[in-house]
Structure 1
Amino acid sequence: MKPTPVGIDIAKMVFQVHYVDEETGEIVNRPIKRQKFLEHFVNRSPCLIGIEACGGAHHWARELTKMGHQVKLMPAKYVKAFNIRNKNDAADARAIWLAVQQPGKPVAVKTEMQQAMLALHRMRQQLVKFRTMQINSLRGLLTEYGEVMSKGRAALDGAIPNVLARISERLPAVLVDTLREQWNGLAKLDEQIAAIERRMREWVKQDPAVKAISEIPGVGLLTATAAVATMGDAKVFRSGREFAAWAGLVPRQSGSGGKVNLHGISKRGDTYLRTLLIHGARAVLSHAKDAGPWIEEMRRRRPANVVIVALANKMARMIWAILAHDRPYQRDYVSRKPA
């Protein structure tokens, strides 16, 4: 029996539900309070439930799946195409109901462990951003008093003790003490970042998937954990090429009349994961003693940044192949289609 399609626009306290009653043909579009949301679906026959992939969507998808319903998470930009008039909860729920009945690739529902790892990544990223802001703020404030320092954390740590000693002779003590406190606060941020990375390493020891893709050159702790947590289920993607395209590591296309023009990378998908893959590829090209004939040949005929993105694309494909086929990394492995 074909499951009944249902569109749900989730929110903080009130959810909007849209479906067509199979028995009466009545179009139902009504709000449901958060406390009674799961109660509404607990005794219903299996439904095909569409939800936008936004905050809280993975939690509700897991809860509805436990009840036997089929949940399809969709990117918001795909749903937007079906909302042709005013934007409100009722119209959004109807647009989701229309979108869930269309063929398309859903967003993989993440486990709680995968979401926990992504939460660690987001908190670490925020702390790194705070640390960078603090360093730039200190350098900028000291420039106002004629003290110019080189870029980078090492340059700041090496120069700031002498700088503070010099300006303490001519500036108020309240300012000098505050600047010193802000500089000492960088060490606390370092400790918090190191603690998060230590917890990530503990997860690497427990997760065989993260351990497997960590063998790929250029895939370190951050890239491995972020890839496994962001991807969800690798089998959602049909091929490594599709995963690389989802990560935004393929050219944008434009054209008409049968002529297709290729541009820079599309930058679709997860920006954080794409950034880690590109930085990993850059590290391989900078430090690897033997990058391989494929890289050396491309270096002779392509600019450096093009080679870096091409290697990042290849790394993404290898990550998918290892996770989807459950096989270890092999340096000289050659993929061949079955005869």
Structure 2
Amino acid sequence: MGTADARPAPVASIGARAAGATQQGARLKTRLHAYQHSYQPEERTLARLAAQQQLIQQQLCNVDADIAALLDVEPELRRKLALLTSIPGIGLTTAVVLVAETAGFSLTENERQLASYAGLDVVQRQSGTSARATTISRRGNVRLRTALYLPAISGLRCNPQLRVFYARLRARQPNGKPGVIAVMRKLLLLCYALWKRDQLYDATYVRRVN
């Protein structure tokens, strides 16, 4: 397969398909939710959107099957992905997308560059001569951000350390969205650390990774 940080061509292909289907699914979910709460939604349109959701779900099932087949013949990749999936909230498909979109975390040299590449680096808005609220740049890889959103929500349910981290952020910023974004960044950097260190998840990583 090559070095542990190399990304085999099948991973790139499968990861791209998974990222695409996940992104389409997220957009469709938002569209369906908005339409369901619109004035007098048409049943025909609702049925069409539901059918599109089923199609995307089938695409993701096909991706899962392809991932399983790939890992049967790539034991080292399977071992490395298991490091990422040891993090509560990170599933196998998400791990594959992260590895595919970062070329095995080889596109950046450190955590700050990785956060910037994903568009999860924090910037400060300027208004004239005064600084306004901080926000993420959103100029990076949208597929990474899309792939990390649901794992962040899941991680807040099943990972006590992430809940503590999130609660501290909410205490400073009552608006929940920046907190979720920070959890996404935390998960990405955790994946990076475990992949590079070749180690399984440990709860203390949550406190150490910025």
**TM-score (structure 2 length as normaliser):** 0.68
Q: Displacement of 1:215 after TM fit?
A: 1.1
Task: Give the whole-Å Cα distance in 1 for the aligned partners of 2:57 and 2:148.
Answer: 23
Q: Percent identity?
A: 21
SS in 2 for 1:218: coil
Q: Displacement of 1:229 after TM fit?
A: 0.7
Q: Displacement of 1:243 after TM fit?
A: 0.8
Counterpart position of 2:186 = 314
SS in 1 for 2:134: strand
Task: Give the whole-Å Cα distance in 2 for the aligned partners of 1:296 and 1:183.
Answer: 35
What letter matches 2:160 in structure 1?
D
Counterpart position of 1:263 = 134
Task: Give the whole-Å Cα distance in 2 for the aligned partners of 1:130 and 1:259.
Answer: 35
Larger helix percent: 2
Among 65, 77, 90, which residue is 1:198 paired with? Answer: 65
Among 291, 303, 327, which residue is 2:199 paired with? Answer: 327
Among 281, 299, 305, which residue is 2:152 paired with? Answer: 281
**Corresponding residue pairs, total:** 194
Q: Displacement of 1:289 after TM fit?
A: 6.7
Change (3 A) 1:298 1:184: closer
Task: Give the whole-Å Cα distance in 1 for the aligned partners of 2:147 and 2:183.
Answer: 12
1:258-292 residue CA offsets vs partner (Å, 9 max, x unmatched): 9866632101221011122132212222x237345
1:227-246 residue CA offsets vs partner (Å, 9 max, x unmatched): 01111142442222321121
Q: Displacement of 1:297 after TM fit?
A: 2.6
Gaps of 5+ in 1: 1-107, 157-178
Task: Give the whole-Å Cα distance in 1 for the aligned partners of 2:184 and 2:51.
Answer: 37
Counterpart position of 1:228 = 99
For the aligned residue pairs, the C-alpha RMSD in angstroms reads 4.3
SS in 2 for 1:272: helix
Task: Give the whole-Å Cα distance in 1 for the aligned partners of 2:116 and 2:71.
Answer: 26
Task: Give the whole-Å Cα distance in 1 for the aligned partners of 2:107 and 2:57.
Answer: 37
Task: Give the whole-Å Cα distance in 2 for the aligned partners of 1:293 and 1:131.
Answer: 32
Runs (4 or more) in structure 1 with deviation over 6 Å come to 129-133, 182-186
Q: Displacement of 1:219 after TM fit?
A: 1.4
SS in 2 for 1:246: helix
Larger Rg: 1
Task: Give the whole-Å Cα distance in 1 for the aligned partners of 2:151 and 2:104.
Answer: 23
Counterpart position of 2:15 = 118
**TM-score (structure 1 length as normaliser):** 0.45
Task: Give the whole-Å Cα distance in 2 for the aligned partners of 1:278 and 1:221.
Answer: 15
Gaps of 5+ in 2: none
What letter matches 2:192 in structure 1?
W
- Any residues of structure 2 matched to 1:1-339 within 5 Å, and which? 111-122=8-19, 124-125=21-22, 128=25, 143=41, 190-203=57-70, 206=74, 207=77, 208-253=79-124, 263-285=134-156, 287-288=157-158, 290-291=160-161, 292-303=163-174, 304-333=176-205, 335=208
Q: Displacement of 1:249 after TM fit?
A: 0.8
Change (3 A) 1:235 1:253: same
